[in-house]
Structure 1
Amino acid sequence: MKLERKGGKDAMYPQYLFEYPNVETDFPFYMKKKKYTSVPSHRHDFIELSFVLEGTGKERINGTEHNLQPGTVVLLLPYQIHEYDATPGETLQMYICNFDMKLLTAGPESAWGVYELLIGSDNPRSTHIRLEGHDLEEGLLLWERLYREYESSKAWKPIMLRALLLEALALFVRGSDKPDGKRIERQHQKNSKSIWPIVQYVYNHYLEPLSLTSLSEQFHIHPTQLSTQFGSEFGIHFIDFLHELRIRHACSLLISSDLPISQIAYESGFSSYPTFSRSFHRTKGMSPRDYREQQWRER
């Protein structure tokens, strides 16, 4: 994975994860089983689904803290800021899945509830649940199967992984809908229904001319309110959010093509080369030309 930390005036922004193994394949899914004691504040532009196997600790998602313990399942949407720490003297062992949102919103399953789960609905969505009893036993077996399948090289592997991933999400949804006595307290997000469809739209149309004004008109929300929501949800200004998506696209073109850099700027959605150059340097810490030369040397 790659981490970017902004410097200078943007140093308050959390770390930004923008790549993971397999991200550029036709099945953008990655899974690992790892032990942690502490993970600093960060965000990423892909979905993360995790399952705690051993240990206890605390996680903060957009500033709201919850407990981590065996059986805790966490579903993080793109760009949510989070961090976690193990209890002193302990280690958290976790399964972690990273995957592209389009892996789940492109098929007919989106009409069955997946889209509402990921993008938002009238009811606030739980970011985390804790499986107990029979559900915990079922979860352990399911996540073990998912991990074994990921590590294998069997035929139809992507099909099996997607099926198991959907099963894990179904277990998450059913766990969050338990009666009050079993339900984990929900993390309330104001206006979640209005912000996440916009995030998904920007994610799908970032190469097109976009602005707070045009988005506010399309989604019937005041530009000031939309700007405030981006700041509170992601700790970043809308324009920087948009530019980061475009810079990622530009990086792919710089690495994989010999297009002139000025053309790449426009191919990546920027209306002017100076804006592209400033944004690229702020995000990557170097010029587009230096980035291309560095990547070509490494490859």
Structure 2
Amino acid sequence: MKNSKQVICEKRSYSREFDSHQHDFGQFLFPLHGSLDIQTMWQKIKLSSDYCFYLPPECNHVYRSTDRNEFLILDIPTHYLPSGTESMYMKLDQQWSSIRFLLLEETRNQETSSPLNDLTRYVAHKLRMSTSPSIDYIHKHFKESIKMEQLAEIEHYHPVYYSSWFKQKTGKSPKAYISELRLKEAKQLLRTTSWSISSISEELGFENSSSFTRWFVRFEGIPPQKYRKN
């Protein structure tokens, strides 16, 4: 595909035939009607109206739509993008819905490119600041039992790839990352509450206080009772 040096924002529709390509710019896809099947090397998703999707530069993807469809597409030149951007499959929350609305308005107003360029810079900033859905899920549910397959499914990654992706992104394995959050919460509860060890272990999702104590000693070198006294 041609090298895009300018921001392009327009509505597009896709055919039922499979197509495959990659481009040297980033691309944001906002569904307006219908859905789009997209497959990258490690992801396979059906993009519908409740989600949006970002494709980084040089990411080969196969795509097609099996129904009537219309998408708002934002092509983002690389000089707008933070380095090392990755594909992101995100819930179309209130903020992203508002961004989609503003971008739609800009497709109707082609008199000047300045507002569109400013919006694109904001989108790039959002990409830089956005938390991956599975990491956000971990922060909300780390006290519960979380399976690797569950996290991979949230990102629509293959489980084998998800583990290496997660470590590259956070510097830790998913298991170590979750344990760190649980340990931080355990220490906070031990320091700031008078809860029993049994209550704290239950709060953090352990089967019993004995398993919690063994786990705590493995990380801190002392039992939780002694940590509390110190």
Relative to the length of structure 1, the TM-score reads: 0.41
Between structure 1 and structure 2, the one with the greater Rg is 2
Answering whether residue 127 of structure 2 is matched by residue 149 of structure 1, we say: no
Aligned to 2:218: none
Percent same amino acid at aligned positions? 20
Q: Which runs of 5+ in 1 are unaligned?
A: 1-16, 105-113, 195-299
Aligned to 1:179: 137
2:47 to 52, 64, 68: 68
Q: Which runs of 5+ in 2 are unaligned?
A: 142-150, 169-230
Q: Deviations over 1:108-130 (max 9, x none)?
A: xxxxxx33xxx15xxxx453223
Q: Report the residue type matching 1:35 in the other structure.
A: S
1:118-157 to 2 correspondences below 5 Å: 119=84, 125-131=86-92, 135=93, 137-153=94-110, 157=113
Q: Deviations over 1:78-132 (max 9, x none)?
A: 2111122223xx223211111210133xxxxxxxxx33xxx15xxxx4532232x
Relative to the length of structure 2, the TM-score reads: 0.52
* Deviation of 1:60 (Å): 0.4
Paired with 1:37 and 1:18, the residues of 2 have a C-alpha distance of 21
Task: Note the aligned Cα RMSD (angstroms).
Answer: 3.3
Q: Deviations over 1:31-88 (max 9, x none)?
A: 111222345011111111111122124210125311211032221122111122223x
1:1-299 to 2 correspondences below 5 Å: 17-20=1-4, 23=5, 28-38=6-16, 40-62=19-41, 64-87=43-66, 90-104=67-81, 114-115=82-83, 119=84, 125-131=86-92, 135=93, 137-153=94-110, 157-158=113-114, 160-171=115-126, 174=130, 176-177=132-133, 178-180=136-138, 184-185=154-155, 187=157, 188=161
How many residue pairs get aligned? The number is 148
Higher relative contact order (CA 8 A, sep 6+): 2
Q: Deviations over 1:160-181 (max 9, x none)?
A: 2233224334555536343247
* Deviation of 1:150 (Å): 4.4
Give the match's secondary structure for 1:44: coil
